[in-house]
Amino acid sequence: MSDASPPAPPPPLPLEEAQRRLLDSVDALSAETVQLEESAGRCLATDLSSRRTQPAADLSAMDGYALRADDLAGPWQVVGESAAGHPYSGELRAGEAIRISTGAMMPAGGGAVLLQENATREGDAVSLNGEGEPTPRHIRRAGFDFRKGDVLLPRGTGLDAAKIALAISGGHETAEVARQANVAIIDSGDELAAEPGNLAQHQIPASNGAMLAALAAPHAAEIRRLGPVPDRLAALVAAFEAAEDCDVIVTSGGASVGDHDLVRPALEQWGAEIDFWRIAMKPGKPLLVARKGHRVVLGLPGNPVSSYVTAFLFLLPLLRKLGGAGSPLPVRISLPLAESLPAVGKRTEFVRARIENGAVRALSEQDSSALVSLSRAQCLIVRDAGSNAVSAGEMVPVYLLQNGGIA
């Protein structure tokens, strides 16, 4: 081993600058057509416009009687029925009422609805019972929700249950969405064992790969797991070669400055270019981003919490952007602090926390290897680099962790 000290690492990049640099360097993947029924979690590659007007005609919002707007005193004679799916074909005249159900088309000439609770019915005769008046407010007007040609969902929208319902209601069976990335996840390190139930004392279970795969799954087409790869340059280069056909390659561990941290030399030997390395964040400082052709490599730190937090702030936004999302970054909310927190140094800190009675409380254990506190955390409190101490009751920015945060 040489006695020469290694070159000083580059100064860490501010977090937002690093996120912007990563996201600006990629575009959405190519578009494909999917059935809307199977599109939850996918993002639109084009604007989705309505093929129809909803409702297509004036409909009753209540069960009762359709009346003319200029004939509200009664009594009336019931001359027919309009049920949902079975409209009344004639025109309503003065003195007449049409029995109508919720969601049924208003008859031609109809301009008000009398609720059945406000009516007395005797044979074909119907009259007011004094409990309420007929009103046009119980009519859902044609096109009040949306009209043919309206952009219902702009490009970049993530499809969820409500948006799938809207698209189908707009007359669509399929949607044009961006393809999702194929992702390779590499565990590396001599101390890692693939079988968590069968370890020597110097080994630990390779838990990061499964954790990262679970985080990435909703945003990835295919996930290939590789490793654990031993701390040998040739083995790591071989793992990158085995991931060549993936869009995104994720490593965890070996990204720091130790003698066995081989990710950077292996990337160089494989022919990738390092874009940036080291971010002013805690945990997660040694994060590395590299590129070979269209492929993006994220070298996440090995400490499990550092790996999780950098995946949350870099890997998931990257996969969302490749998958066509218009707003790929997680959304912060504000919550009051249950207990004070100290001033922050030069790195933006992400503090594992739980929500109690509407306030957010930091967990006492914040070591970047501590999986018990990570598994108990419901959210991360964001403490910007250089910020002052905050007292109980002050509002702090928070990322909710469930489902990879709100994006």
Ligand X SMILES: Nc1nc2c(c(=O)[nH]1)N[C@H]1C(S)=C(S)[C@@H](COP(=O)(O)OP(=O)(O)OC[C@H]3O[C@@H](n4cnc5c(N)ncnc54)[C@H](O)[C@@H]3O)O[C@H]1N2
Give the shortest CB-286-to-ligand MOO separation in angstroms. Answer: 6
Of residues 67-126, which lie at the interface with ligand MOO (CB under 6 A)? Answer: none
Of residues 20-59, which lie at the interface with ligand X (CB under 6 A)? Answer: none
In contact, 363 and 302? CB cutoff 8 Å:
no
Residue 275 Cα to chain centre, angstroms: 27
283 contacts ligand X (rule: CB under 6 A): yes
With CB cut-offs between 5 and 8 Å by kind, which of ligand X, ligand MOO, none does residue 317 bind?
A: none
Tell me which of 192, 298, 341, 374 binds ligand X, using CB under 6 A: 192
SS (H, E, C) 127-163: EECCCCCCEHHHEECCCCCECCCCEEECCCCECCHHH
Burial of 67 (0-12, 13-18, 19+ CB in 10 A): buried
64 contacts ligand MOO (rule: CB under 6 A): no
Tell me which of 111, 189, 324, 330 binds ligand X, using CB under 6 A: 189
Whether the ω angle into residue 12 lies within 30 degrees of 0, i.e. cis, is no
Of residues 197-226, which lie at the interface with ligand X (CB under 6 A)? Answer: 204, 206-209
| Alpha-carbon distance values, 406 to 100, 122, 312, 322, 377 (Å) | 43, 56, 11, 17, 16
Give the span between the Cα atoms of 149 and 151, in whole angstroms. 6
End-to-end alpha-carbon separation of the chain, Å? 47
With CB cut-offs between 5 and 8 Å by kind, which of ligand X, ligand MOO, none does residue 404 bind?
A: none
By rule CB under 6 A, what count of residues binds ligand X? Answer: 27
In contact, 157 and 163? CB cutoff 8 Å:
yes
Tell me which of 303, 348, 366, 373 binds ligand X, using CB under 6 A: 303
From the list 96-104, 128-136, 159-167, 282-290, the region that binds ligand MOO by CB under 6 A is: 282-290
Tell me which of 209, 301, 304, 328 binds ligand MOO, using CB under 6 A: 301
Closest by CA to 239, choosing from 261, 210, 267, is 267
DSSP letter assigned to residue 9: P
Give the shortest CB-230-to-ligand X separation in angstroms. Answer: 12
With CB cut-offs between 5 and 8 Å by kind, which of ligand MOO, ligand X, none does residue 261 bind?
A: ligand X
Of residues 316-345, which lie at the interface with ligand X (CB under 6 A)? Answer: none
- Residue numbers at the binding site for ligand X (CB under 6 A): 187, 189, 191-192, 204, 206-209, 252-258, 261, 283, 285-286, 301-304, 306, 368-369
- Residue numbers at the binding site for ligand MOO (CB under 6 A): 282-285, 301, 303, 306, 368
